[in-house]
C-alpha cells in the first residue's frame, strides 16, 4: 500500500511557495476558519484580524502555497510566532500551518513546513514547537515526517467552547524540532571559509 505522502511525492509539483502579501490575508483567514470549523485545529474561537495577525506572527516567516498557474489562489499557509515575550527565548517559536481542503494530499503541507524550517534557520531560531491535538493525526504525521519529536502532552490544557467536543477538556501534544544552535552555525560558517 502506498502512503499519501509517497503519492504526493510522485506527483508533479503543481504549486509554489512564496512569501505572503497583505492581499493574501482574506484567503489565509478563510483557510484558518476551515481548520477552526473542524474543532481539531485550535482552541481559538475566531480568526485574527489582519492587524492582530501582524502583531502575533513573525512576519518574515509567513509563507503561502499558491497554484503554479495562479499566483493569487492561496492553497495553504505557514507561520511562526514567538513562544514567549522573554528575550532569552527569542530563538524558540511555535508554528502554525493550515491547508485548504483542495490542498490536501498534494505535498503542500510538507513544502510549507520545509520552507518554515529554512526561514527559521535564516532568522537564527534554534527550536520550533508545534502544539497539536492528539486527534489531529494528519498534523502530527506531517511534523514527524520533518523530524519533529513528541516531547510531551499537556493534559486538560483548555476547555473547548465549540465543535463536537464543546464542554470537554482537551489535551495538547507538544512536538519539537531542534535547529542548529547559533554557535554551531558560526562554527560551520568558519569551517566552510577554511
Collapsing DSSP states into helix, strand and coil, what is residue 124? coil
Check if the beta carbon of residue 165 is closer than 8 Å to that of residue 121.
no
What distance separates the 2 farthest-apart alpha carbons in the chain?
61
Q: Is the dihedral of CA 56, 150, 140, 172 positive or negative?
A: negative
The pLDDT of residue 139: 96
The pLDDT of residue 170: 95
Collapsing DSSP states into helix, strand and coil, what is residue 4? helix
Q: What are phi and psi of 105, to 5 degrees?
A: 80, 10
Q: What are phi and psi of 42, to 5 degrees?
A: -165, 160
The pLDDT of residue 3: 42
Number of H helices, E strands in the chain: 6, 7
CA dist., res. 174 & res. 103, Å (int)? 25
The pLDDT of residue 185: 75
Beta strands in 23-135 (DSSP E): 63-67, 70-82, 92-99, 127-132
CA dist., res. 136 & res. 117, Å (int)? 21
For residue 134, give the DSSP letter.
T
Per-residue pLDDT of the chain (194 residues; tens, 9 = 90+): 334 444 444 456 899 999 999 999 999 999 999 998 888 889 898 999 999 999 999 999 999 999 999 999 999 999 999 999 999 999 999 999 999 998 989 999 999 999 999 999 999 999 999 999 999 999 999 999 999 999 999 999 999 998 888 999 999 999 999 999 888 877 787 788 77
For residue 146, give the DSSP letter.
T
CA dist., res. 152 & res. 104, Å (int)? 27
Check if the beta carbon of residue 78 is closer than 8 Å to that of residue 62.
yes
CA dist., res. 80 & res. 91, Å (int)? 11
Amino acid at each position: 500500500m502506498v502512503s499519501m505522502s509517497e503519492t504526493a511525492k510522485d506527483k508533479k509539483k503543481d504549486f509554489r511557495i512564496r512569501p505572503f502579501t497583505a492581499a493574501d490575508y482574506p484567503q489565509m483567514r478563510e483557510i484558518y476558519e476551515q481548520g477552526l470549523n473542524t474543532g481539531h485545529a485550535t482552541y481559538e474561537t475566531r480568526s485574527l484580524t489582519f492587524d492582530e495577525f501582524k502583531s502575533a506572527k513573525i512576519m518574515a516567516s509567513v509563507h503561502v502555497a499558491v497554484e503554479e498557474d495562479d499566483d493569487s489562489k492561496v492553497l495553504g499557509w505557514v507561520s511562526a510566532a514567538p513562544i514567549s515575550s522573554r528575550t532569552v527565548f527569542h530563538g524558540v517559536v511555535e508554528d502554525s500551518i493550515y491547508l485548504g481542503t483542495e490542498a490536501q494530499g498534494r505535498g503542500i503541507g510538507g513544502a510549507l513546513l520545509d520552507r518554515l524550517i529554512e526561514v527559521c534557520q535564516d532568522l537564527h531560531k534554534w527550536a520550533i514547537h508545534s502544539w497539536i491535538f492528539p486527534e489531529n493525526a494528519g498534523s502530527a504525521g506531517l511534523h514527524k515526517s520533518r523530524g519533529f519529536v513528541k516531547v510531551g502532552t499537556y493534559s486538560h490544557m483548555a476547555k473547548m467552547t465549540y465543535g463536537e467536543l464543546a464542554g470537554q477538556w482537551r489535551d495538547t501534544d507538544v512536538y519539537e524540532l531542534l535547529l542548529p544552535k547559533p554557535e554551531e552555525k558560526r562554527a560551520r560558517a568558519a569551517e566552510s571559509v577554511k
